[in-house]
Amino acid sequence: MSSYKLKVLLTGAAAVGKTSLVQRFIKNKFQANYKLTVGVDILTKEIEYKPGEIATLSIWDIGGQQRFEFIRSTFYQGAAGTLLVFDLTREQTYQETRKWLTEIRQFAGENIPFILIGNKADLLEDVGRVINQEEAKKFAENENSIYIETSAKTGIHVDEAFTELTRKIINSRT
């Protein structure tokens, strides 16, 4: 029995892997060349966030249209929490997370729980580290969050990201 129904958002710059993370989480697959998300995709999945406790997530994945005020307000309205994603291989996308956080808080509420996600961890071996892990961790902690590195490609830590977000949302309510 699921008592919680939670709207969670994927946020962050273009091409950081938001759609790929949702696909990995929901379907446990990775496929290159997803068509660009147009509008908003909403997918639902139950998650056991602690033994015997189930929540239903409705996961909102937005494309590049978020700049339109109407879409943006619909997207953020009633959101319980968000995965704020950047690309571990592109520093610019990390820098932009501050801007995202300001917008998220403005539209979804000051205290909205979020998890900071550095995605594409599988590429670190080839590309090397461009974002300091300790700094990302400190940034997250200063904002009352945690930092998780994921790969939608290999699947590493993807379930954990959604589970931690769900726990954080539910802990913030009880």
CA distance 72 to 40: 10
17 binds ligand G3D (CB under 6 A): yes
Q: Does 15 bind ligand G3D (CB under 6 A)?
A: yes
Residues 6 or more apart whose CB falls under 8 angstroms from that of 117 comprise 12, 21, 83, 84, 85, 86, 147, 148, 149, 150, 161
- Among the listed residues 26, 37, 56, 137, the single contact to ligand G3D using CB under 6 A: 37
Residue 3 binds: one of Mg ion, ligand G3D, none (C-beta under 5 to 8 A by kind): none
Rounded Cα gap, residues 4 and 14, in angstroms:
30
- For 101, the 3-state DSSP assignment is helix
Q: Which stretch binds ligand G3D (CB under 6 A): 13-21, 74-82, 132-140, 165-173?
A: 13-21
Chain contacts with Mg ion (rule: CB under 5 A): 18-19, 37
Q: Interface residues with ligand G3D (CB under 6 A)?
A: 14-20, 32-34, 37, 119-120, 122-123, 151-153
